[in-house]
Amino acid sequence: MNVLPLASPSKNLGERAYEALRDRIITLELKPGQTIQENELAVSLRISRTPIRDAFRLLIAERLVEVLPQRTRKVALISASKVKETAFVRLCLEGPAFREAARRWERTERHLAAERRIAALLQEQREAAERQDVAEFLRLDEAFHRCVLQMAGNGTLLEVVYHMRGHLNRFRYLAMKELKLTAHLTEEHRELFDCLRRRDEAGAAQLLERHLGNLDEEIPLLRERFPDYFQD
């Protein structure tokens, strides 16, 4: 039986339930279109139904969960248009941030610490790719991008990107798993890291656009394999 993780003790049960359920949705443990019940989730996470309701409110606002008649709740289908829109917004937000991070990159202790952190993340990504642990790879992918955005010095951007990327990350998880993209993405992360250290702003922005992009090819492939997961 799954139990609500004890991580993030500063957060209340509702926030922790939200993060646990959001993670299950993004990694397709809770599948698109699947009906979900408060009491079953409360038992699964070993908490009361009140934090589950709090989590549902956040997930409904994020459009990862839908409310049907009789207050039945189900995991939202993957919207192809929402995935494309979110990818566009993500590139618009992260592109300037990667440029800014590259412009600011210097041989300070803060940047040396960031380099050590990113180097460790890249090694962990290679290991996750080798064993095809897609859930762990996606977590490390998020950590890589978060580390770079932190170096751009915009805390608000971090919050916006986190809440916006739920729909996109669910698609990305499926694409990584089915299309075996993890080794390729690790190499692109290494190239992005090299651009940052060289303070190559244009190179970082160009690589990021390539890194975030093959949706026009990937969406049709995955819709054909998983037609029940998608909507327009």
State the CATH number of the domain containing residue 51.
1.10.10.10
Q: Is residue 45 part of a domain?
A: yes
Domain of residue 185 covers 78-231
Q: Are residues 210 and 222 in the same domain?
A: yes
pLDDT at 1: 37
Q: Are residues 71 and 82 in the same domain?
A: no
231 forms bridges with which residues in the sheet?
Answer: 79
Q: Is residue 64 part of a domain?
A: yes
Q: Are residues 89 and 188 in the same domain?
A: yes
Domain boundary among 75, 106, 129: 75
Q: Are residues 49 and 127 in the same domain?
A: no
Rounded to whole angstroms, how far apart are CA atoms 147 and 193?
11
For residue 31, the 8-state DSSP code is -
β-strand pairing of 73-75 with 35-36: antiparallel
Question: Hey, what are 3's tokens?
Answer: 């139990």
pLDDT at 11: 67
The total number of residues shown for the chain amounts to: 232
Q: Are residues 109 and 211 in the same domain?
A: yes
pLDDT at 3: 42
Three-class secondary structure of residue 80 per DSSP? helix
What is the full per-residue pLDDT of the chain (232 aa) written as tens digits? 344 443 454 468 888 899 999 999 999 999 999 999 888 888 888 888 888 999 999 999 999 999 988 778 999 999 999 999 999 998 999 999 999 999 999 989 999 999 999 999 999 999 999 999 999 999 999 999 999 999 988 878 888 887 788 889 999 999 999 988 888 899 999 999 999 999 999 999 999 988 887 888 999 999 999 999 999 8
Q: Are residues 83 and 67 in the same domain?
A: no
Domain boundary among 75, 91, 112: 75
Phi/psi of residue 66, nearest 5 degrees: -115, 150
Q: Which of 108, 168, 160 is nearest to 141 (CA)?
A: 168
Q: Are residues 43 and 140 in the same domain?
A: no
Q: Report if pTM > 0.85.
A: yes
Q: Are residues 106 and 199 in the same domain?
A: yes
Q: Is residue 2 part of a domain?
A: no
Looking up tokens 């751009």 gives 152
The answer to whether the Cα torsion of 24, 29, 35, 38 is positive or negative is negative
Domain boundary among 51, 75, 99: 75
Rounded to whole angstroms, how far apart are CA atoms 17 and 47?
9
Q: Is residue 138 part of a domain?
A: yes
Query: How many Cα atoms occupy the beta-carbon half-sphere of 24 within 13 Å?
Result: 23
Q: Are residues 209 and 115 in the same domain?
A: yes
CATH number for 209: 1.20.120.530
Q: Are residues 174 and 94 in the same domain?
A: yes
Q: How many domains does the chain have?
A: 2
